[in-house]
């Protein structure tokens, strides 16, 4: 997984990263954004525009946010509450629009 969005994005979702992404691989959950690992081209355009420094390469995620590496993948590969199928790689976030649900990890985290 090239880039990951970690905990500082929860309840912030500035979305500057979405505007910078040349391949439309950043999807909107309910409280957090997620980068699709199958669609990301590892360009890094999203990382410097994040005002809360929530985005980094998977191998550079801070120790306290390591659980978000696997959790970001789960958003696309596992069945989320209220959905009939895993999201997978639909070919761009604009095709799906906001997903409106988060992974169990993000959903159970205290609100800001």
Convert the pLDDT of each residue in 45-90 to its tens digit.
Answer: 999 999 999 999 999 999 999 999 999 999 999 999 999 999 999 9
pLDDT at 88: 96
CATH number of the domain within which 79 lies = 3.30.70.20
Give the count of domains, the chain. 1
Confidence (pTM): 0.94
Structural domain range at position 78? 3-108
End-to-end CA distance of the chain: 27
pLDDT at 1 over 80: no
Q: DSSP labels for 60-82?
A: G--GGGTHHHHHHHHHHHSPPTT
Which 8-state DSSP code applies to residue 8?
G
């Amino acid at each position: 997984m090239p880039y990951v969005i970690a905990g500082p994005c929860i309840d912030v979702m500035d979305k500057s990263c979405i505007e910078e992404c040349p391949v439309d691989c950043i999807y909107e959950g309910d409280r957090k954004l997620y980068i699709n690992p199958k669609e990301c081209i590892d360009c890094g355009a999203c990382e410097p525009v994040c005002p809360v420094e929530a985005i980094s390469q998977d191998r550079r995620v801070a120790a306290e946010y390591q659980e978000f590496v696997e959790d970001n993948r789960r958003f696309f590969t596992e069945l989320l509450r209220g959905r009939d199928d895993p999201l997978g790689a639909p070919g761009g976030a604009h095709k799906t629009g906001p997903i409106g649900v988060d992974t169990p990890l993000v959903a159970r985290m205290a609100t800001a």
